[in-house]
Structure 1
Amino acid sequence: MNSLIPPSTTGLVFSQAARRHWATALFLGLTLLLGACATAPPSTTELTPSPATAPLPENKDTPVDAEQAVINPQEPVLPLKPRSNLGLTPPTDVWERIRRGFAMPDLDSDLVRNREQWYSGRPDYMLRMTERSRPYLFHVVEELERRNMPTELALLPFIESAFNPQAVSSAKAAGMWQFMPATGKFFDLKQNLFRDDRRDVLESTRAALDYLQKLYGMFGDWHLALAAYNWGEGSVSRALARNKAQGKPLTYSDLNMPNETRYYVPKLQAVKNIVAQPEAFNTQLPLIQNHPYFKSVPIERDIDVAIAVKLAAVSLEDFKALNPSMNRPVILAAGTPQILLPWDNAKIFERNLQAHANRPLATWTAWQAPRTMKLEDIAQQLDMPIDQLRAVNGIPPRMMITSGSTLLVHRKGRLDNDVSEHLADNGQLGLAPEVVLKRIAVKARKGDTLASLAARYGVSETNMIAWNSLKANARVATGQSLTVLVPSQGSRRVSRSTPNKPATKAPAPKHKQANKANKPKNQR
């Protein structure tokens, strides 16, 4: 070891070869050199921390090759901070990169063994699920490393949604991170007529990691933070308080919790173990290269999805996989300033879009209903086939459009402008059942008047006069037969909910406190 320690360098000027030799020696022997100054030298196991206990690196840049390092002898050499990937070559695939960033304590229990058997016993399902993660996994890992968070969390969408951004649970949690509507709003995920950011790749990942960081700050333990992500922070806090009052341990495994939450961390641990050693579980992980899959491209004009797909030379399926938050045939630049495209196709799109600069890009725009209207009347006013108007806006039969609602309509005539930012961000569709009236005959009782009859049947006195061709202030004789129009029984039925029902009309559900929000994949 002493041969690695050069004489004093004060006032000396090294040759290039000497500098390179010293750089190499310093890089290889620095940890041992620092240990020589302590009372006892470090053990060799400390040079490469285990994935489970390694501290998160503060700088994820690729390590400098010692042979290429140039040391200025006139500048002080600062000791390097220990890193979990010290001396390792850059990972060739995302799976290895994830393994190097493991930083949570392992959970070892019978439930973990149970879930290991479940996943490893379904190799086809595992392969489909991991293949589905291909477009998203690199971005998730990048964001985790940027925040110095454990890379095990990149595996959480496998548990939540099998990495399906279009997944919707029975409790209306949506996206690959499974956000409930109210929690999505809390973390600034837009949910309107034109987009649902709970499904957006960039925005949902940002919100999920924000939420997980918040939960870790509350509980100081990743297992408890994950339990709260599934069950709700209030539920976990109350369970911890009960354990504390009873003198019980305050760990994840010791809490009294629903089965879904009890299995939640064991499922993540099982997937982590399989990713760590796939060969031990007879599992094949598809090769996912350690480089970006997609690129963000700015959008400055409204553009039809069909035209965007054509200009980018991608399939509609691939486009929707990267832009799952968009649920209409047009992309509104004011509300969606960027789209994601496969890396090489992004350049193709930008080139073709520039060539398309002076040509129309959108055939759809937005229109607001000035009052509550029948769809037939709107179709006639806008000169648009009613079936197409109904289909593109997801409107069921026998429903009226309420005042202020936003509809997607053909872009023509006076409706030939890009949609405003306010409408793009706040457009909602309100529906009300059509009122179908039926004619009934009623007999006036002694003392009845037109006003009393109108009040009895919930109609106006003016309508009573019109329906019966009477004069104003006409008297009604006892036993006189009168016509009244009342809503039919069918029109009183509550309409089925639609995807476009305004979020403000629905009761605000809790996040994953509701156990239904996180049903296992095979129960969703």
Structure 2
Amino acid sequence: MIVNQLSFDVVPTSRLHKRIDWYLAQPTYLAQVNKRAAPYLYHIVKRVEQRGLPMELVLLPFVESDFRPTAVSQQKAVGVWQLVEATAYHFGAISDPWYDGRKDVLSATDAALDYLSYLYKRFNGNWLHAIAAYNTGEGRVKKAIDRNRAKGISTHFWHLKLPKETSEYVPKLLALSYLLQKKHPKFTRPHLPNYALSTALDVGQQFDFGVLSSLVNVPKQTIHHLNPGFLRHQSSPQGPHKVLLPMTEKKLLQSQFFKRHFSQTYTVKKGDTLYSIAKRFNTKVKTITLLNNKTSSLLHIGEVLSLNKVTQSNSLLIDYEISPYLIEKKQTKPVTIEYFHQIKPGDSLWEVSQLYKVSVKDLMIWNEISAHSMLKPGNTLILHLPKPQLVSEPVNTKQYLSELEVLVKPESGPRL
């Protein structure tokens, strides 16, 4: 599934041969690391396919962290994708005392792929530059490209002067892709089934790992191991409440646990089809067929179908009032004021987000754009920034507004 979709044209160089030799000296490396990756890999592949990204990106967590979900680098980068806190936040992988999205493999995957897509666009469709920037930062790569351009020499990755780690980082990925594409006889390729070994379940409410373990008949330690993003024995009251379970979708949907807590019944009426029922109840035809163990799309009037639906239940929690540290104060949403940023040549969503200390994800939501949208100079971006609090000294408020106005001066240019 992965090998057949690798697309980078890898031309061996001396640096690349060095990394190839390193892998060949450890011929079972990928098979060993894949044991950690196996529960997540199918989901990552599907995300890469859905976005139309090169399949080589699936190999990045192997290069970054040997696919260790709880890995922490000296630079405080965390998880299989080695995301630092600022990057994770700006691309939607949230963290709080209950949960760290960087350790949640699938949440981190979404953030990392968003970041890589941004870098690909930033470096004019050059994946080697984008991958190098993922490792060392876009500023360093841009400076290296500018230096070469000023000297009139090639700006190809292999000719850039970059930090040693980055100079070896991209060849690590390319060497792995090369060995898989060439099916090198001395390098062991893992065999993976073409289906998910785990299934994501949106519990829809706060849950306790011990209760969930009893209900699904899966050891609590196994569920925690699959979901290292959760830092406590309960999910956060504010979420997320999505958990990976070590079973196929079919096994989960046909389990008594799912039918009891996450399904409802529907009686088939004249004119109903699986597609129309799926559309009406915001589900998938495949889910209905699996839930009801159907082998065909044929329906009978009066037939009773089970449909997936989250049912709120108090049985998924235990009363932990005896542990006061678990009680979190409710956070009130800050009052915001709408501001406008006029786009200047060279502006990017990342740079605007850094300037105003907001996330890229929020910028995209506020302006109804995607990570691939072009920012046209003269257009404006909407921002919702915290409203300054009233203070006893009026001069302080005026000073705040004056300083803010310098940064965020409303413009009358055309909207995006």
Q: Is TM > 0.5 for Structure 1 vs Structure 2?
A: yes
1:162 to 66, 82, 95: 66
Structure 1 position 314 matched with structure 2 position 232: no
2:147 paired with 1:242: yes
- Structure 2 residue 18 is the aligned partner of structure 1 residue 114: yes
**1:362 match:** 317
User: Is the CA contact 1:312–1:352 (under 8 Å) kept in the aligned structure 2?
Assistant: no
Residue 246 to residue 279, structure 1, CA distance change in 2 (3 Å)? closer
Q: 1:228 aligns with which of 118, 121, 133?
A: 133
Matched letter for residue 37 of structure 2: S
Listed as ranges, the matches of 1:128-147 within 5 Å are 128-147=32-51
- 1:288 aligns with 192
Q: How does 1:339-358 map to 2 (within 5 A)?
A: 339-344=243-248, 346-347=252-253, 348=255, 349-351=257-259, 353=261
User: What does the per-residue CA deviation read over 1:276-316, in whole Å, with 9 as the maximum and x for residues that have no partner?
Assistant: 24442x23233211112222212133221122122222233
After superposition, give the CA deviation of every residue in 1:444-484 in whole Å (9 maximum; x if it has no partner).
xxxxxxxxxxxxxxxxxxxxxxxxxxxxxxxxxxxxxxxxx
Does structure 1 conserve the Cα–Cα contact (< 8 Å) formed by 2:98 and 2:232? yes
Q: Is the 8 A contact 1:129 1:158 kept in 2?
A: yes
Unaligned runs of 5+ in 1: 1-96, 366-381, 390-406, 410-418, 427-507, 509-524
Query: Aligned letter for 1:249?
Result: S
Shift of 1:383: 5.6
> One-letter code of the match for 1:360?
S
**How many Å separate the matches in 1 of 2:9 and 2:184?**
22
Structure 1 residue aligned with 2:167: 262
Pairing 1:297–2:201 present:
yes
Query: Which residue is 1:201 aligned to?
Result: 105
Q: 1:237 to 1:163 in 2, by over 3 A?
A: same
TM-score if structure 2 supplies the norm length? Answer: 0.62
CA distance in 1: counterparts of 2:313 and 2:107, whole angstroms: 31
How far has the Cα of 1:342 moved from its partner? 2.7
1:127 maps to amino acid: A
Separation in 2 of the partners of 1:162 and 1:317?
A: 22
8 Å contact from structure 1 (residues 330, 364) kept in 2? no
Q: 1:207 to 1:279 in 2, by over 3 A?
A: same
Output the CA distance in 2 between the equivalents of 1:298 and 1:326. Answer: 14
Displacement of 1:352: 5.7
TM-score, length basis structure 1: 0.50
Distance 1:273 1:315, change over 3 A: farther
Larger Rg: 1
> Secondary structure of the equivalent of 1:335?
coil
Note the C-alpha offset of 1:268.
0.4
Gap change, CA 1:309 and 1:107, over 3 Å in 2: farther
1:101 alignment partner in structure 2:
5
1:495-514 to 2 correspondences below 5 Å = none
| Equivalent residue number for residue 408 of structure 1 | 326
**Quick one: distance in 1 between partners of 2:243 and 2:13?**
43
Q: Within 2, Cα distance between the matches of 1:161 and 1:236?
A: 22
8 A contact 1:112–1:266 mirrored in 2: yes
**Distance in 1 (alpha carbons) for counterparts of 2:168 and 2:314:** 55
Task: Describe the superposition over 1:170-226 as per-residue Cα deviations: whole angstroms up to 9, x where unpaired.
Answer: 111011111001111111211100101112222211111111111111112111111
Q: Structure 1 residues 213, 202: closer, same or farther in 2, change over 3 A? A: same
- Aligned residues: CA RMSD: 2.7
Secondary structure in structure 1 of the residue aligned to 2:244? strand
| Residues 354 and 187 of structure 1: CA distance in aligned 2, closer, same or farther (over 3 Å) | closer
Distance 1:421 1:102, change over 3 A: farther
C-alpha spacing 1:145/1:195, structure 2 compared with 1 (3 Å)? same
Q: Distance between the aligned counterparts of 1:318 and 1:213, measured in 2?
A: 33
Residue 498 of structure 1 aligns with which residue?
Answer: none
Q: Please tell me whether residue 192 in structure 1 is matched to residue 96 in structure 2.
A: yes
Secondary structure of the residue aligned to 1:303 is: coil
Letter of the 2:258 partner, please give it.
E
Amino acid at match of 2:236: L
CA contact 1:130–1:285 (8 Å) conserved in 2: no
Percent identity between the two aligned chains: 33
Structure 2: where are the runs of 5+ without partners? Answer: 264-310, 335-356, 358-416
Quick one: distance in 2 between partners of 1:359 and 1:149? 42
Cα distance, 1:350–1:420 mapped onto 2, change above 3 Å: farther
Q: Cα deviation per residue 1:129-186 (whole Å; 9 max; x = unaligned)?
A: 0221111111111111111111011111100111111111111101111100111111
Answer yes or no: is the 8 Å Cα contact 1:300–1:333 preserved in 2.
no
Cα contact 2:40–2:106 (8 A) shared by 1: no
- 1-structure distance, mates of 2:89, 2:60: 21
Given the superposition, is the C-alpha separation of residues 214 and 298 from structure 1 closer, same or farther in structure 2, using an over 3 Å criterion? same
Q: 1:343 to 1:239 in 2, by over 3 A?
A: same
Q: Supply the AA of the counterpart residue of 2:42.
A: F
Q: In the alignment, is the contact (CA less than 8 A) between 2:16 and 2:174 conserved in 1?
A: yes
Letter in 2 for 1:241: D
What is the aligned length?
283
Tell me by how many angstroms 1:109 deviates. Answer: 1.2
Distance 1:354 1:104 in 2: 43
Give the Cα–Cα distance (whole angstroms) in 1 for the partners of residues 22 and 220 of structure 2.
34
Change in CA separation of 1:107 and 1:218 when aligned onto 2, cut-off 3 Å:
farther
Change (3 A) 1:256 1:175: same
Change (3 A) 1:107 1:277: closer
Aligned partner of residue 297 in structure 1, secondary structure = strand
Contact in 1 for aligned 2:76/2:84 (Cα 8 Å) = yes
Q: Is this contact kept in 2: 1:364–1:408, CA < 8 A?
A: no
